[in-house]
Chain A
Amino acid sequence: MSREILKVENLSMRFGGLLAVNGVALSVKEKQVVALIGPNGAGKTTVFNCLTGFYKPSGGSILLDGEPIEGLPGHKIALKGVVRTFQNVRLFKDMTAVENLLIAQHRHLNTNFLSGLFKTPSFRKSEREAMDFAEYWLEKVHLKEFANRPAGTLAYGQQRRLEIARCMMTRPRILMLDEPAAGLNPKETEDLKALISVLREEHNVTVLLIEHDMKLVMSISDHIVVINQGTPLADGTPEQIRDNPEVIKAYLGEA
């Protein structure tokens, strides 16, 4: 199959005396959808924070295309093409939907001070292209009619979609979604599922997600990693995970 894009080995994160993540390993191949599941407080988001540079891991290695990225600051990791969404949506609420998308394109734009000051043709062109790219993605996530509304006034499900579109503005290679289906109704969850497969098929994005909605996880994941209390519990295909007695025990408690 395709090559490995992200390899995490023996990742650990310690907060004082608390070992929040201990020895987690991940192997993600290109264009795969990999899910990270586990009970509340298992350390899934901590793993995400380590991968995206918000925390500096206490131990272990993270290789992106064979290149170590552990301990790099968040914005550098984002520039390498690892972009995330947040468990509680983090949009720029006072800015319009389309402006949210423009900000995410910052490094692709002409940020030269003088050319912006005098509106040179190259500056205009770069702004126009950014606008077109934003429009394209607004269309994709069915938010074009809300383009000029402040992001904070959108409905919750729309905000979630906008956040994904905003990530796509950075032309990511790995998209990390932290509970993308939380708070969505069944219809919206179906749409999300369709969107994720579009991202994978048409835009060659590898998706890593944390999710509690098992129906969604089982239907879109190629590979599932289960974490319990910071330690890896199991990993495998959806079928293997579904039948794993350890996993059932962790979720439902002992019979």
Chain B
Amino acid sequence: MTRNLKQALFSALLVWAVAYPVLGLKLTIVGINLEVHGTSNATLITIAVCSVLMFLRVIFDREISSAWRSSPGVPLIPAKASNFLTLPTTQRWIIIALIAGALVWPFFGSRGAVDIATLVLIYVMLGLGLNIVVGLAGLLDLGYVGFYAVGAYSYALLSHYYGLSFWICLPIAGLMSATFGFLLGFPVLRLRGDYLAIVTLGFGEIIRLFLRNLTGLTGGPNGISNIEKPTFFGLTFERKAAEGMQTFHEYFGLEYNSINKVIFLYLVALLLALGALFVINRLLRMPLGRAWEALREDEIACRALGLNPTVIKLSAFTLGASFAGFAGSFFAARQGLVTPESFTFIESAIILAIVVLGGMGSQLGVILAAVVMILLPEMMREFSEYRMLMFGALMVLMMIWRPQGLLPMQRPHMELRK
């Protein structure tokens, strides 16, 4: 009991110690007195209550945990519902319903909401692409943002110097990123696990620094601005069309409304994300997709069966990179501006967090996680100083309660018909 008491007192003190810097309290020496600044009664009371609660929590630790255990185990999501949610057939229906909803709502939603949804879709695409590399093939890639940058700059440069349109550049950007994925993948794929992660991290940074220092071509830190937006079969969404072009609202005889452009961008993003979803869904049922998973499970057995590990890994790396290229070129078109600072390591970390949070290999999970990861910071702008804190807390909680991810993958098993 005395040990408990000691521990409890210590924990209560710890609450004060932690709360002090987090809530921005300040100790100042005034004369010979020590005063606490930057506080109000409310914060002091909150801290006091928290420390008392912590004290009680620790001192009655045994009672609480035994009570917790004896109460009928209520997991976060009931086992049955969880299983139901992760079944491939249910996931398909959920996806169809989501697609229908996603197509309709922007016409009723606000401009800001549609804009954020477009951003979410970009991350869905990136998450799906990285999911191939990390979730399916089991290769930890920390430099994924590099391929995103390659895609974005491919479009930006082609548009800036040659005036090519978005729709021509989109496949080129995908190809460019895939080429980079192939070239970078070739030397590094003989590495495993941690080593691979470190080398890819390096490559991501190299690409960014390269773009930053190639001032003559890429504009250096200023990037490239005034990139053209995508057009709808040659119709622009600007108020005034450039020479030889027609605007969307004139062609259809509508009033000019800037929200049309936002909705159009959203629909393009949706189209791209759905394309990615379709391709990955098919891949899972193809020999190549099966080989990725087999390789993740046992590389030696794969080799003994005549599967070439290098080729299979390389295909995962290349395909994953090409999705980043598509997402990148769309990003450049939407933003109208690319700078190297959009492609820092933290972007890679966010994309990886989306994959892990959603559940490795799970597509619906990735979509859900992308929504959570992008929407939460947007909705909680007031707390933006605590963004990293919340990010960390979310990760820790996930690892405790649902280490397999929000909606872990249930593979579409190939079955023998009876």
Contact = CB atoms under 8 A, between A and B. Distances in A.
Interface string B393-418: 00000000000000000010111100
A103 B291 CA distance: 6
Given A116-B288, A135-B416, A95 B294 contact: yes
B254 interface: no
Nearest to B286: A116
Contact of B294 (A75, A92, A167): A92
Interface in A30-76: 52-54, 73-75
Contacts of B415: 96, 98, 147-148
A235 interface: no
Contact of A99 (B306, B309, B414): B414
B304 interface: yes
B305 interface: yes
Contacts of A5: none
Contacts of A75: 302-303, 305-309
B297 A78 contact: no
A103 B304 contact: no
Given A52-B304, A75-B308, A95-B294, 16 more contacts: A84-B304, A90-B298, A90-B304, A94-B293, A95-B290, A102-B414, A103-B287, A103-B291, A103-B294, A104-B306, A106-B291, A106-B306, A109-B287, A131-B414, A148-B413, A167-B305
Contact of B287 (A79, A90, A102): A102
Interface residues of A, number: 43
Nearest to A98: B416
A170 interface: yes
A94 B410 CA distance: 11
* B-side interface size class: 20 to 34
27 contacts: A53-B303, A54-B300, A75-B303, A75-B307, A78-B303, A79-B306, A83-B305, A86-B300, A90-B301, A90-B304, A95-B411, A95-B413, A96-B415, A98-B415, A99-B414, A102-B290, A103-B291, A104-B306, A106-B306, A113-B286, A116-B287, A131-B416, A135-B416, A138-B416, A144-B416, A166-B305, A170-B305
B279 interface: yes
A79 B302 CA distance: 12
Interface string A86-112: 100011111110110011101101110
Contacts, number: 110
A117 interface: yes
Contacts of B297: 92-95
B304 A74 contact: yes
Interface in A102-141: 102-104, 106-107, 109-111, 113, 116-117, 119, 131, 134-135, 138
Interface string A191-223: 000000000000000000000000000000000
B181 to A, nearest CB: 15
Interface of A: 52-54, 73-75, 78-79, 83-84, 86, 90-96, 98-99, 102-104, 106-107, 109-111, 113, 116-117, 119, 131, 134-135, 138, 144, 147-148, 166-167, 169-170
Contact of B300 (A73, A90, A94, A117): A90
Contacts of A148: 413, 415-416
A92 B298 contact: yes
Contact of A107 (B293, B301, B306): B306
A92 B293 contact: yes
Contacts of B302: 75, 103
B69 interface: no
Interface string B275-302: 0000100110111101101100110111
A103 B298 contact: no
A92 B301 contact: yes
Contacts of A169: 305
B307 A147 contact: no
Contacts of A78: 303-306
Contacts of B413: 95-96, 99, 148
Contacts of A95: 290, 293-294, 297, 411, 413
Contacts of A102: 287, 290, 414
A69 B198 CA distance: 35
